Amino acid sequence: QVQLVESGGGLVQAGGSLRLSCAASGHWYTMGWFRQAPGKERAFVAALTRGTSAPDYADSVKGRFTISRDNAKNTVDLQMNSLKPEDSDVYSCAADLGALMTVVTAYQYWGHGTQVTVSS
């Protein structure tokens, strides 16, 4: 099994930056970041694989967020720049053994999430 622990969330002013980190134990092939606001469905943010395929991003974060991996540490980070109040959500990382995917139901392993709050 894969265990995931997110960190790096917090309070930031609009226009600022945060870097989230997902520490994984065990083997995975695809890692994604998702976010969820109270009363709303969990939404895809970004994903990458251990292979050579290019990372994928939601349209709402393209040009502002960057997903990256550190194979030695078995971590996946999400660099968030130019943050907006609408980015305020609980951010969770998810892992699976299959190819890159963007739907919530495709991921088997989930972290518990970290809160990101962007003030205006």
Please report the pLDDT score of residue 32 as a whole number. 97
Integer Cα distance of 60 and 43 in angstroms? 11
Tell me how far apart the alpha carbons of residues 108 and 79 are, in angstroms, rounded to a whole number: 23
The span from the CA of 120 to the CA of 52, in Å, is 38
> CA-CA distance, 58 to 98, in Å (whole number)?
19
In order along the chain (120 residues), what is the average pLDDT of each group of 10 residues?
96 98 96 95 96 94 97 96 97 94 92 97
What pLDDT is stored for residue 40 in this prediction? Answer: 93
Give the pLDDT score at 100: 87
Determine the pLDDT at residue 38. 87
Residue 34, strand partner residues: 44, 92
Token duo for residue 88 = 């305020």
In this prediction, residue 112 carries a pLDDT of 96
Q: What is the pLDDT of residue 107?
A: 95
Considering only CA atoms, give the Rg of the chain.
13
